[in-house]
Structure 1
Amino acid sequence: MNLVRVGAARSEIVPLSVVKQHLRVDGDDEDGYLDSLIRGAVAHLDGPRGVLGRCIQQQAWALDLPDGWADSIRLPLPTVEDISAVTIDGDGVEAPLPIIQRSCGVWTFAQPVEPSILPVRVSFVAGVPDDILPALRQAVLLIVGNWYLNREEVAAAASATALPLSAQRILAPLKIRWV
């Protein structure tokens, strides 16, 4: 099984203008630096390798199953939609593969109607429920603000935590816990 992001996020979670307003930064001198902090904060949180274990923006993903597919699988990211599957023959020709899908909480399970011995690519869009977007945006602002003010790993008289405590509290209930 190989999970690959095939489409970038469909929108910015926090635009540069909002970050600049949050930090009270005037002018364009630090736009490049602030943009890198935004991208770093998003990368820290986002996707299967991020600390949340979920997507924080809508993105297209593909799950490659090189040995075919017969049994039900749990898609590796929560909150998914637009699920489809294709088989891929030896010449690289794709053919649609009908699937059955069911949801269980934030997770989606999928299974082919008929098993396939050919390699399969399952495509889907993973995202985040609209009701937690405000909390995610605030967490990104807090992380960017902390990194902007504390440009070194440890500042004098500052806590050496990886994330500001306020951001940790916002993010804690949003983490996906693997059981």
Structure 2
Amino acid sequence: MTLIQTDPPLAEPVTLAELKAHLRLDATDEDGLLEGLIRVARTHLEAVTGVALMSQGFRLALDDWPQDAVIQLMRTPVQTVDAILLYDADGVARNLDLSGLLLDGIAHPARLVVTQRPRPSQPINGIEIEFTAGFNSINEVPPELKRAILIHAAHLYEFRGAVSADMQPASIPAGYDRLIAPWQRRTL
């Protein structure tokens, strides 16, 4: 099972102005750095929670259908299932009919039931499910997740000289885990 982001979000859930107000900064000379820190904080939050914060496209590749009928899409909230592709032995894709799908887009992770389940002929990544996940607007993003991004980006900004941008996130600020706890994936 492999999850690939196909379309990045068109906007970040926290604006540059919000982060600058949080940091009490007026100068514009570090705007590029701050925008990068917002992106790093969002990406980290999405990775540890499985929540797509802004609308973005994904492709889930499967070798075969799961034993039970439920497919976990690894992201939430899922807005739409855009396509299900089944590959033959020559690597040619065939679109499956989407009419018989049952989607629980707000489950954590989102769940999908596909009634038509023909076997793929390609032994590796023979099934691809393309879907759109995330909140439609900044206003829909839960406030505790926006706050987590703000404090994480501020923390990264505080240590900007000690750790290079390509090595971020180097650490997590105090209180971050409590903010995101209700959104984290729990496994046994």
Task: Identify whether the pair has TM-score above 0.5, normalized to the shorter chain.
Answer: yes
Match of 1:86 in 2: 85
Unaligned runs of 5+ in 2: 164-169
Matched, 1:54 2:51: yes
Q: What secondary structure is seen at the aligned counterpart in 1 of 2:129?
A: strand
Partner of 2:96: 96
SS at the partner of 1:3? strand
Please give the root-mean-square deviation of Cα atoms over the aligned residues, in Å.
2.8
* Aligned residue identity for 2:111: T
Corresponding position: 1:126 with 2:133? yes
Contact residue 71 and residue 111 of structure 1 kept, 8 A: no
Per mean C-alpha deviation after superposition, the further-off stretch among 131-140 and 169-178 is: 131-140
Residues 119-175 of structure 1, C-alpha deviation per residue, up to 9 Å, x if partnerless? 32211112259765221111111111122223336xxxxxxx932223322111121
Question: Would you say the 8 A contact 2:152–2:173 is kept in 1?
Answer: yes
Conserved in 2, the CA contact under 8 Å of 1:69 and 1:112? no
| Distance in 1 (alpha carbons) for counterparts of 2:13 and 2:141 | 12
Secondary structure, in 3 states, of the residue corresponding to 1:147? Answer: helix
Partner in structure 2 of residue 65 of structure 1: 62
Please tell me whether the aligned partners of residues 12 and 38 of structure 2 are also in contact (alpha carbons under 8 angstroms).
no
Residue correspondence of structure 1 range 109-124 to structure 2 within 5 A: 109-118=112-121, 119-124=126-131
User: Whole-Å Cα distance in 1 between the matches of residues 184 and 91 of structure 2?
Assistant: 41
Kindly tell me: are residues 68 and 74 of structure 1, through their superposed partners in 2, closer, same or farther at Cα, counting changes over 3 Å? Answer: closer
Aligned 1:1-179 pairs, distance under 5 A:
1-46=1-46, 50-67=47-64, 72=69, 73-83=71-81, 84-89=83-88, 90=90, 92-98=92-98, 99-103=100-104, 105-106=107-108, 107-118=110-121, 119-128=126-135, 133-151=142-160, 152=162, 162-179=171-188
| Amino acid in the other structure paired with 2:127 | V
Aligned residue number for residue 157 of structure 1: none
Q: Mark the CA change 1:114 to 1:44 in structure 2 (over 3 Å): closer, same or farther.
A: closer
Cα distance, 1:9 vs. partner? 1.2
Runs (4+) off by over 6 Å? none
Mapped partners of 1:28, 1:133: distance in 2:
28
Q: Residue 13 of structure 2 contacts residue 141 of structure 2 at CA under 8 Å; is this kept in 1?
A: no
Deviates more, 1:92-101 or 1:53-62: 92-101
Output the amino acid matched with 2:38: I
Which letter maps to 1:100? L
Are the counterparts in 1 of residues 12 and 39 from structure 2 also a CA contact under 8 Å? no
Contact 1:55 1:128 in 2 (8 A): yes
Distance 1:109 1:45 in 2: 23
**Aligned partner letter, 1:144:** A
Aligned-partner Cα distance in 1 for 2:159–2:120: 54
Q: Amino acid of the residue matched to residue 87 of structure 1?
A: L
